[in-house]
Amino acid sequence: MIVDNDLLSIQQARILAENGFEAQKKLATFPQEKLDEIVEHIADAVEGHAEELALMSHEETDGGRWQDKLVKNLFVCNQVRKELRGMRCVGVINEDPQRKITDIGVPVGVIAALCPVTGPVSTTVYNTLIALKSGNGVIFSPHPAAVKSIGRVLDIMIEAGEACGLPEGSISYLETVTKSGTCELMGHRNISLIMVTGVPGMIKYAQQTGKPVIYGGTGNGPAFIERTANIGQAVQDIIASKTFDNGIAPSAEQSIVVDSCVADDVRKSLTSCGAYFMSEREADSLAELFIAPDGQRRKGMAGQSAQVLASRAGFRVPDTTTVLVAERKYVSDTDPYYREFLSPVLALYVEDDWMHACEKCIELLLHERNAHTLVIHSADEDVILQFALKKPVGRLLVNTPAAFGGMGATTNLFPSMTLGSSSAGFGITSDNVSPMNLIYVRKVGHGVKSAADVLGTSGQGTGQYKLNINDSNVVQVIQKILQQAIEAIDDPADR
């Protein structure tokens, strides 16, 4: 029997969206305490399978290191879970007795989530925990290259959640994954919000639905080593970040921009940490592995070790090599090294001073329009402030490894596996995405003044002006004022 996978996937998407909608209506009635109980139960279940899932995802995707994938799995089950404890996302989340204002957290509904091949298990678990924490249902479209590992962890979470009272259908996933089915899911009337984490090829289809989209994007994140930096520590941080899971983390450094007066010290420090500086011929050979002549990325290169990459490119490196470095002068469409490689490969640029370095970083950030993460290593607070003020980027990290700082492991940013791009990207937020990005806040405002106070009629008998609201001229004036106010609000320049 011949099966049309596109039609099957579309049918599955419709059924899952309908079931998810009914399940979420029940879930929306749960108090925060019950949602928290479900989250804890699911995290416990996943933690018990963390190593199995790390091995499985590494074998299936053939990228990164299973030991580092285990670290990410445990990070979500432990550090993220601790951060979620005590957060109030639904019901009364804030009260201001003096101003008589109350905030009510309300789930957005059912979320369609797309997860990446680079972190299939940890991202799937993370997105599930924050969706349920905030009372939302979530339906996944697994990455085609990680269907087995994503399906396995979702089965674990579904079983654990339903055993704890989670309505059936609150978590689900496409078993037959096609582009048509994924587009049908995202565009379904019962889907309220779309989360696209590290799947850039689907972002335009998500946008075409007209629904709000959270984009955990990619991008060429540079690290600037300024002259006042602790050079040795800065280089160690960059190497640790870029070798973690073989450089597969989107927030990891993709290039280094160096103040010229410390460039030699940086090169020496990089070499002492196992960096291999490629010749121009070697750099060209390596770039051809990643980028096809038509400009498209080649598959199967992300998350490979420096030794494997060098061997495939036709040259040998020492067994102790940690990263491959290509020295570049310009950011250009003809030079592939401005692009994100998601492997232990770094481009190195040298600039005369921090102002020129600032411009170079902006070039790198904007070239792929997904300004994601920037790192600065410096002891000069004024320079750090200027970078913070001027860079079109989602997050600026200071004196920390980007892969760990971006996800909130070495910083106090919210611990997250879905990191929003900046306004130069494609999503509605640049946050480290948390449950608070998956709710809307209903404002409750108690009356503190009377209508007479507003209309100026409270001063009758005191000599104050009395407004006759039955006067047609007055009504016309009020209508005109309101119309002007509405036009001002609608003016894009005022947003």
487 burial type by CB count under 10 A (0-12 exposed, 13-18 middle, 19+ buried): exposed
pLDDT one-digit tens code per residue, 24-54: 999 999 999 999 999 999 999 999 999 999 9
Question: Which residue from 196, 110, 108, 20 is spatially nearest to 437, judged by alpha carbons?
Answer: 108
Q: Which residues does 237 contact at the CB level (< 8 Å), separation at least 6?
A: 377, 399, 400, 401
3-class SS at 190?
coil
Per-residue buried b or exposed e for 21-60, using 16+ beta carbons within 10 Å of the residue's own CB: bbbbeebeebebeebbebbbbbbebbbebbebbbebbbeb
From residue 269, give the alpha-carbon distance in Å to each of 29, 51, 246, 250, 273: 57, 34, 20, 24, 6
- Two structure tokens written together for 145: 């290259």
- pLDDT, residue 111, reads 98
465 burial type by CB count under 10 A (0-12 exposed, 13-18 middle, 19+ buried): exposed
- pLDDT, residue 437, reads 95
DSSP H helix total and E strand total for the chain: 18, 15
Q: Long-range pairs for 466-474 at CB < 8 Å and ≥24 separation?
A: none
Give pTM, 2 decimals. 0.88
- pLDDT, residue 389, reads 87
CA–CA dist 387, 227 (Å, integer): 14
Per the listing, tokens 């993709």 go with 254
How would DSSP label each residue in 66-116? HHHHHHHHHHIIIIIHHHHTT---SEEEEEETTTTEEEEEEE--EEEEE--
Count other C-beta atoms under 10 Å from residue 371's C-beta: 27
Q: Which residues does 72 contact at the CB level (< 8 Å), separation at least 6?
A: 119, 121, 122, 245, 417
Count other C-beta atoms under 10 Å from residue 229's C-beta: 23
- Two structure tokens written together for 493: 């320049």
Element (H, E) at 138: strand 137-141
pLDDT string in tens for the chain (495-residue length):
677 899 999 999 999 999 999 999 999 999 999 999 999 999 999 999 999 999 999 999 999 999 999 999 999 999 999 999 999 999 999 999 999 999 999 999 999 999 989 899 999 999 999 999 999 999 999 999 999 999 999 999 999 999 999 999 999 999 999 999 999 999 999 999 999 988 888 989 999 999 999 988 766 789 999 999 999 999 999 999 999 999 998 889 999 999 999 999 999 999 999 999 999 999 999 999 998 888 788 888 889 999 999 999 999 999 999 999 999 998 888 888 888 888 999 999 999 988 888 888 888 887 766 667 899 999 999 999 988 887 778 889 999 999 999 999 999 999 999 988 765 557 788 889 999 999 999 999 999 888 888 887 665 545 455 555 556 666 676 677 777 767 666 554 443
CA–CA dist 171, 161 (Å, integer): 9
Question: Which residue from 185, 187, 165, 327 is spatially nearest to 257, judged by alpha carbons?
Answer: 327
Q: Which residues does 419 contact at the CB level (< 8 Å), separation at least 6?
A: 216, 217, 250, 251, 372, 373, 394, 395, 406, 407, 432, 433
3-class SS at 179?
helix
